[in-house]
């Protein structure tokens, strides 16, 4: 299977017919199209009744995810669409030149997987690189997720992102907030200034129009020529030249060798349910904290355990042993961690996906690769750029093959305990909105942001019990429909 996936990723997706984003109006009465009388699969309105739900830290990307669910897409389709859309609407944290990690659960088979595609530093840094860039993991990582669990054509799934970039979208409050923080150094790059500044030189504010034609062209090439061309072929050669011009050269041979990892999830018991964990420090820290909270540890004790487990994992400790209660020793976390963003999505069949994406720094290197529109991610571990702490968890019941909860968190060291607290409260009977809004102490309150989808009656068994929420401390959106 690994070899097959490798060939799929190397070859990319065959060129497909152009797919245009359907208008995003209100979803009204819909039909299953059993008799050919309603909207076709791939068109919003195809699905009748309960769609599922999404929660994203940026509103426009959330709407894209819901449209894919309404068009008959799986949770994986919606997650891929959201990931590409965030590359357009929130390039400060989720540029397509970045990477991340996703957890996915398929209820009908009781199967779970972890897709890991973090942006890593090249093995060889070009001597002329004054702002080293990370190898982009997102396009291949999301393509691999789609290849395993997608239902709609890949071209259809990424078309909304292409249209948002090509024809423009309103600057969200989430992006405007990030721009306000780093506008000074970011605008030292002329291309970034052209994209993200007003005519008077001030950063774009909420509601301002953001148009990214070069990025739209790039996504169009990925759609028509396949993901493989981004990593090997003409598009890869263009990317290698462009990154060199931006002071963060990515060798063509290292682009070619950049592959995601698709593995079984790490597992731990949580009452009668199973906790599915990604093999990354933030996810492991959140899982350890959640199990401590379930054992009636205090919030402070659980937070300390989360940070210790995350540090030990990043220092090379065996993740499974940490989940089983091994001594939490070894390694420390840096005082500042790379910026991330998270989202969760579930469909009506009980498939669920939780993802965390990162650039390892707010706006990555702060430079755009000429001719591509890509904000380059920062190479982790180089200079003062620390790796991010992507944090995701998923809860399911193996015995009845049903989904219970999924969550993703951002906010550096505050993310693992913030996520654990939200999931613990949801399992204890709170709605998703109540669980993420409840007060938290310390860094979890100051910087932790959680997106959560909770189905206490399990999905697909009891869709009416499902709720979804984006953290009110942030500027995201949670949305679903029935």
Residues 452, 467: Cα–Cα separation, whole Å: 8
SS3 per-residue string spanning 21-51: CCCCCCCCCCCCCCCCCCCCCCCCCCCCCCC
Residue 147 CA neighbour count, 13 Å, CB half: 24
CA-closest candidate to residue 356, choices 305, 304, 309, 418: 418
Answer for the pair 392, 118: CB distance below 8 angstroms, yes or no: no
Residue 343 host element (H or E): strand 340-347
> In terms of Cα–Cα distance, which of 267, 314, 277 is closest to 420?
277
Which uninterrupted H or E stretch holds 362? none
Q: Note the pLDDT of residue 330.
A: 65
| DSSP-derived 3-state class of residue 428 | coil
What sign for the dihedral angle of Cα 413, 408, 430, 59? positive
Q: Is the torsion defined by CA of 189, 379, 413, 427 positive or negative? A: positive
Q: Which spans in 168-232 are helix H?
A: 173-186, 190-196, 213-225, 227-231
| Torsion sign across C-alpha atoms 414, 415, 420, 426 | positive
Closest by CA position to 280, among listed 176, 185, 380, 205: 380
User: 81's torsion region: left (phi>0), alpha (psi -120 to 50) or beta?
Assistant: alpha
What pLDDT does residue 238 have? 95
Does pTM top 0.95 for this prediction? no
Q: Where are the chain's structural domains? A: 42-263+334-481
- In the chain, which residues have pLDDT < 70? 1-38, 45, 47-48, 326-331, 481-482
Tell me how many degrees the CA angle 283-284-285 measures, rounded to the nearest 5. Answer: 90
Q: How confident is the model over 414-444, as pLDDT tens digits?
A: 999 999 999 999 999 999 999 999 999 999 9
Q: Which pair of structure tokens corresponds to residue 227?
A: 């993901």
- For residue 135 the two structure tokens come to 């190898």
CA 446 → CA 335, 372, 410, 412, 441, distances in Å?
15, 35, 11, 11, 8
Q: Are 61 and 86 in contact (CB under 8 A)?
A: yes
What is the model's pLDDT at position 324? 85
Closest by CA position to 95, among listed 105, 108, 86 = 86
What's 445's DSSP letter? Answer: H
Q: How far is CA 41 from the centre of its chain?
A: 25
Tokens found for residue 173: 């409050």
The phi, psi pair for 364, rounded to 5°, reads: 55, -120
Nearest to 420 by CA among 337, 297, 263: 297
**E-strand stretches of 80-168:** 99-106, 111-117
pLDDT of residue 482: 58
Q: Count H helices and E strands in the chain, helices first.
A: 18, 17
Cα gap 21→18, rounded to integer Å = 10
- Per-residue pLDDT tens for 196-248? 999 999 999 999 999 999 999 999 999 999 999 999 989 999 999 999 999 99
Three-state SS at 182: helix
pLDDT of residue 8: 38
What's 122's DSSP letter?
-
Do strands 261-264 and 352-358 pair parallel, antiparallel, or not at all (unpaired)? unpaired
Distance CA 304, CA 189 (A): 40
Separation of alpha carbons 81 and 299, rounded Å: 35
For residues 11 and 226, the answer to whether their CB atoms sit within 8 Å is yes
């Amino acid at each position: 299977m690994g070899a097959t996936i490798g060939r799929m990723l190397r070859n990319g997706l065959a060129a497909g017919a152009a797919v245009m984003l359907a208008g995003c109006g209100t979803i009204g009465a819909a039909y299953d199209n059993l008799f050919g009388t309603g909207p076709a699969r791939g068109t919003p309105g195809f699905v009748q009744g309960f769609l599922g739900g999404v929660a994203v830290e940026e509103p426009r990307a959330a709407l894209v995810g819901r449209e894919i669910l309404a068009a008959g897409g799986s949770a994986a389709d919606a997650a891929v669409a959201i990931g590409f859309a965030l590359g357009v609407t929130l390039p400060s944290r989720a540029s397509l030149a970045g990477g991340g990690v996703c957890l996915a659960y398929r209820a009908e088979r009781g199967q779970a997987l972890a897709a890991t595609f973090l942006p890593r530093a090249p093995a060889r840094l070009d001597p002329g690189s004054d702002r080293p860039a990370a190898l982009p993991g997102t396009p291949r990582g999301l393509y691999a997720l789609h290849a395993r669990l997608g239902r709609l054509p890949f071209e259809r799934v990424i078309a909304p992102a292409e249209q948002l970039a090509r024809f423009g979208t309103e600057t969200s409050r989430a992006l405007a907030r990030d721009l306000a923080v780093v506008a000074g150094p970011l605008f030292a790059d002329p291309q970034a200034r052209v994209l993200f500044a007003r005519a008077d030189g001030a950063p774009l504010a909420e509601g301002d129009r953001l148009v990214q034609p070069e990025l739209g062209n790039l996504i169009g090439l990925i759609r028509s020529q396949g993901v493989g061309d981004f990593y090997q072929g003409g598009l890869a050669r263009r990317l290698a030249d462009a990154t060199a011009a931006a002071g963060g050269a990515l060798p063509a041979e290292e682009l070619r060798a950049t592959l995601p990892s698709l593995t079984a999830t790490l597992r731990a018991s949580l009452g009668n349910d199973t906790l599915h964990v990604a093999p990354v420090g933030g996810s492991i820290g959140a899982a350890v904290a959640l199990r401590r909270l379930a054992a009636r540890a205090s919030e402070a004790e659980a937070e300390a355990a989360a940070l210790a487990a995350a540090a030990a994992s990043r220092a090379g400790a065996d993740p499974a042993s940490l989940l089983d209660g091994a001594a939490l020793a070894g390694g420390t976390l840096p005082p500042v961690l790379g910026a991330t963003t998270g989202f969760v999505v579930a469909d009506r069949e009980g498939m669920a996906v939780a993802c965390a994406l990162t650039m390892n720094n707010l706006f990555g290197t702060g430079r755009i690769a000429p001719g591509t529109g890509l904000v380059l991610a920062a190479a982790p571990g180089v200079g003062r750029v620390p790796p991010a702490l992507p944090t995701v968890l998923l809860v399911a019941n193996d015995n009845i093959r049903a989904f219970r909860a999924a969550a993703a968190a951002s906010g550096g060291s505050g993310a693992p305990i913030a996520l654990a607290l939200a999931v613990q409260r949801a399992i204890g009977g709170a709605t998703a909105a109540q669980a993420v809004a409840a007060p938290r102490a310390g860094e979890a309150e100051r910087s932790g942001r959680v997106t959560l989808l909770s189905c206490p009656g399990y999905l697909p068994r009891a869709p009416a019990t499902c709720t979804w929420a984006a953290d009110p401390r942030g500027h995201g959106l949670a949305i679903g429909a029935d």
